[in-house]
Structures are given as C-alpha cells and as structure tokens.
C-alpha cells in the first residue's frame, strides 16, 4: 500500500480543509509553469506551507492513450521547508487523483444541498471515479448516473460504481454534477441545471478549453480555488469574461472564503465550483501522507 492509499480520501479532505482554516492563502500560490515539448507539455507546480515544500512535475502527452499509456503522468518531491532536504517521493498521478476530488469535496460540503441524492458524472477516468467516492463521502447520494464518450467503457465504469448510464440531458434531474473530462466544448445545456443543483468542473486548466457553457456560468453562484489561478487558467470562466457575458467580479469567492465563512454562498441559483488544480493542494495532501507514514 502506498503512502497515499494509506492516507485515504477522508484524511485528504481533512488536510485540504485544515490548511485553509489555518490561514493558507490560495491566492499566494506560485503560478504553474508550463513548458511545451514535441509530445505535449511538462508542468511544474512548486509550493511551501507549514514546514514543508514540494514540487510536482507532470507531463501531459495527448497521444499516449492511443499507445495504451496515461495522458497525464507525474512525480511529487516533498522537502523540509527549512533545509530543503528531500523527505519523500510520491506518485504524482496518484496524488492528483486524490487531492482533486478531496478539494471538490471541501467545496461541496458548503455548496451542495444537504439532501443531495442524485450525482451525475461526466467522464469515466480516475477523476470521475474519485469524484463519485468524494461526493458520496459528503452527501447522502442514492443514485449515480455516468455519461461517457465510449459506450463500452461507460457501461463497464457504471457497473463498477453501481451507477446507470445516462445522457447529457440528465443534468435536469441531478443534484450534483461533476465534470471530469478532457472535453474542449460544453458537455450539456446550462439552462437545464436546476437552481438547487451544484456543478463542479475540474477537467481542464487550459484557458481555451471548457466543460460548461456561458448560460450556466451567468446564472450561477461561482466559486474557485483562487481568483488568481482561475483568471489565468479557467477556460470555463475566461471564455465568458472575454465575450463580455460576465466580469471577473462575478466570481463570488475562493475556497478559503468558503471554508472560513468569510463569504456565504447563495441558495437562489445553481452553485458552480471551477477547479484548475493548484500546487498547495498537492503539498498539503503529500505532507499529510508523509506524516501518516512516519
């Protein structure tokens, strides 16, 4: 069992929440560095907090799935913050698959209706699986619907997770909608999302890519991990901002605002949480895994 498996989802959720409650400022996170290479990209995500420093080195190779390899691969290096002495090396892909749904769960604890029962997930990869587990951990989900591009893979994924195979229009009946895809264009009509629902979109950190449409963003109470990161990378928001549909002020708050209660979510419209993935999330979960194993 790896250190991250030993840590588990519940402890990862607690690590993210505890860091924010203790004063971690998501807006101060160093920007992600992206280097283009012939086969794709190399991403560098450094950070420091509470006695630890670390960096995730991730690669994104769009051609890998056709070769039977993961599209995204990564390693994480954890250091002592005072001396920068190496402490641990972790599987960065496994870390991403844990910290992203853990972060979404922290947001959903405040945004999703307390009685949310129907979860709709777009995607059939590790993030889709992680988000099913995460939403089940914080809300009384009794029904899961999965929408995917490949019918055979979607059927197998749904069977594995006790879900039914659905269609995009199922958003009209969902309490929580999780978008965990590599889609470049909107997955469903935002007008169908009911006012009591919460949408989480985590599939991309690219400014020209989005999983949701202008209509959903315009009518939603919008939350992000950090405004600074969202306004650099979140295509779901940068597109509507660029077209004049919304302004940056349409973002109601960041994750620290939500966790500490500095800003309260609205309940008269859909809630929308857009995540791009940030270095502080990797760091606090990696540090928690290291502490749990020492």
What does the pLDDT look like over 71-124, one tens digit per residue?
889 999 999 999 999 999 999 999 999 999 999 999 999 999 999 999 999 999
DSSP conformation letters of 63-77:
TGGGGTS-SEEEEEE
What does the pLDDT look like over 25-51, one tens digit per residue?
999 999 999 999 999 999 999 999 999
What does the pLDDT look like over 225-280, one tens digit per residue?
999 999 999 999 999 999 999 999 999 999 999 999 999 999 999 999 999 999 99
Rg of the chain (C-alpha set): 18
109 within 8 A of 138, measured Cβ to Cβ = yes
Model confidence at 294: pLDDT above 80: no
pTM of the model: 0.96
How confident is residue 293, by pLDDT bands cut at 50, 70 and 90?
confident
Question: Distance (Å, rounded) from C-alpha 134 to C-alpha 200?
Answer: 12
How confident is residue 210, by pLDDT bands cut at 50, 70 and 90?
very high
Is residue 218 helix, strand or coil?
A: helix
Question: Distance (Å, rounded) from C-alpha 163 to C-alpha 94?
Answer: 23
The angle at the Cα of 241, spanning 239 to 244, to the nearest 5 degrees, equals 110
The angle at the Cα of 129, spanning 207 to 141, to the nearest 5 degrees, equals 105
Determine how β-strand 72-80 pairs with β-strand 86-91. Answer: antiparallel
């Amino acid at each position: 069992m790896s250190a991250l498996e030993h840590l588990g989802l519940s402890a990862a959720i607690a690590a993210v929440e505890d860091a924010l409650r203790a004063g971690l400022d998501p807006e101060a996170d160093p920007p992600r560095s992206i280097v283009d290479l012939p086969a794709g990209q190399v991403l560098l995500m450094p950070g420091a907090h509470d006695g630890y420093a670390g960096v995730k080195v991730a690669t994104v190779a769009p051609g890998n799935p056709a070769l039977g390899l993961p599209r995204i691969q990564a390693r994480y290096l954890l250091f002592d913050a005072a001396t920068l002495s190496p402490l641990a090396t972790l599987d960065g892909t496994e870390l991403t698959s844990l910290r992203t749904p853990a972060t979404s769960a922290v947001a959903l604890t405040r945004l999703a209706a307390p009685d949310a029962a129907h979860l709709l997930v777009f995607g059939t990869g590790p993030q889709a699986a992680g988000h099913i587990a995460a939403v089940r951990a914080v809300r009384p989900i009794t029904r899961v619907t999965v929408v995917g591009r490949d019918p055979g893979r979607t059927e197998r994924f749904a069977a594995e997770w006790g879900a039914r195979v659905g269609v995009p229009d199922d958003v009209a009946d969902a309490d929580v909608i999780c978008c965990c895809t590599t889609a470049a264009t909107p997955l469903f009509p935002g007008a169908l999302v009911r006012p009591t629902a919460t949408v989480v979109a985590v599939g991309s950190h690219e400014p020209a890519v989005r999983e949701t449409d202008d209509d959903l963003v315009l009518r939603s109470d919008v939350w992000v991990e950090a405004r600074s990161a969202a306004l650099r990378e979140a295509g779901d928001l940068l597109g509507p901002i660029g077209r004049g549909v919304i302004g940056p002020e349409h973002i109601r708050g960041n994750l620290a605002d939500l966790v500490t209660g500095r800003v309260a979510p609205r309940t008269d419209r859909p809630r929308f949480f857009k995540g791009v993935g940030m270095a502080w999330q990797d760091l606090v979960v990696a540090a928690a895994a290291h502490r749990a194993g020492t």
